């Protein structure tokens, strides 16, 4: 939904997905969780972008990906909405979708300056 411009409704879905994934009976390495972090970083970067981005490296280090998951509409919408790191966002989406290697993120200060 956020990719289509309905951010409020989109985040209602993200909220529900996070609750389901963070359920104690769900596996903590669920790819849906990294997608939720990505959606928040892409579409709510003014409010929770840093917090969401801070959660992504650990998931990536654990090898969590969403192979084949198309995040391109979200990237396009975030860029159209003025996301401050459009190139990084594009590569991050490709890494999450398992289309690019993690090392490609090292070209971006926003990634390498994180703990």
pLDDT tens digits, 11-30: 566 566 565 566 555 545 57
Question: What is the pLDDT, as a whole number, of residue 27?
Answer: 47
Q: Decide: 62 and 77 in contact? Cβ < 8 Å.
A: no
What's the pLDDT score for residue 4? 47
Which pLDDT belongs to residue 82?
Answer: 95
Tens-digit pLDDT profile for the chain (115 aa)? 444 455 666 656 656 656 556 655 554 557 888 888 898 899 887 776 688 888 889 889 889 899 988 999 999 999 999 999 999 999 999 999 999 999 999 999 999 987 6
Helix (H, G, I), strand (E, B) or coil at 32: helix
Q: What was the pLDDT predicted at 25? A: 52
d(CA 99, CA 8): 29
Q: What is the distance between the alpha carbons of residues 39 and 41, in angstroms, rounded to a whole number?
A: 5
Q: Is the pTM of this model over 0.85?
A: no
* CB neighbourhood size of 51 (10 A): 12
- Which three-class secondary structure state does DSSP give residue 24? coil
């Amino acid at each position: 939904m956020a990719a289509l411009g309905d951010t409020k409704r989109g985040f209602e879905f993200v909220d529900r997905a996070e609750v389901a994934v963070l359920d104690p009976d769900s596996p903590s390495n669920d790819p849906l969780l990294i997608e939720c972090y990505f959606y928040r970083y892409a579409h709510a970067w003014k409010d929770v972008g840093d917090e969401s981005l801070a959660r992504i490296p650990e998931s990536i280090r654990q090898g969590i990906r969403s192979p084949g998951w198309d995040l391109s509409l979200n990237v396009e919408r975030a860029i159209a909405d003025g996301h401050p790191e459009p190139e990084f966002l594009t590569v991050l989406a490709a890494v999450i979708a398992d289309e690019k290697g993690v090392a490609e993120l090292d070209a971006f200060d926003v990634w390498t300056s994180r703990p």
